[in-house]
Amino acid sequence: MRLRNVKNAKEIVKNHPLVINEVVENTFPNKKAIHLEIGMGKGDFIINMSKKYPNINFVAIEKYESIIVKALEKIDKSDNLRIICMDAKNLNEIFNEKIEALYLNFSDPWPKKRHAKRRLTHPNFLNIFENLFKKEVNIFLKTDNKDLFAYSLVSLSNNGYQLIEVSLNLANSDISNVETEYEHKFSGKGETINYLHATKKI
């Protein structure tokens, strides 16, 4: 996603109480399940998920401070939501065997074949993700990009994942859904959203 730089974004992110550097014993005031979103955008999905499911702890990963600032502007306070500014390739450093669900919402499709290794459903990333979970990997993916979706279905299947739910038109399915800001915009224009839930025992 493209976003203009926000003035003092680095300082705002650094000093905000909901922004953390790592997940430690006292990150949340309880021992409840942790769900992770990679690439939170302006935060609509993860903020609304944290409100809808107060008994789950949520962590959002975002690489760019200016985007995080836009999300922080929508949050007054939260006991079950934290944000980390980092690159997804370093997830193993702070999430080893800690999470129970992973959300990949409208990730960069990296359409050129030579950039396939940058896709978040490439086997290299799937190997990283598996170290984040305790016993069973649960990946939830949404995208409007049909090529990325097709690639993801094949990559997940080839790497031992079971596809629990698949939809080529999420809005017309009976799958429970919390929209991202991107999804809301494009669904309103009649664009179809692809969805999958994949699991793997580890």
Residue 78, Cβ neighbours under 10 Å: how many? 17
Cα–Cα distance list, 97 to 60, 64, 86, 130, 153 (Å): 16, 25, 18, 8, 24
Give CA–CA dist 124/55, Å, rounded.
Answer: 32
**34 close to 57: Cβ distance less than 8 angstroms:** yes
132: nearest Cα among 165, 88, 162 = 88
- How far is Cα of residue 163 from the mean position of the Cα atoms in its chain? 18
Q: Is 147 a catalytic residue?
A: no
The active-site residue out of 108, 144, 147, 174 is: 108
Token pair belonging to 79: 């006991």
With left for phi above 0 and alpha for psi between -120 and 50, is residue 115 left, alpha or beta?
alpha
Type of residue found at 137 = V
Q: Which residues are catalytic?
A: 108
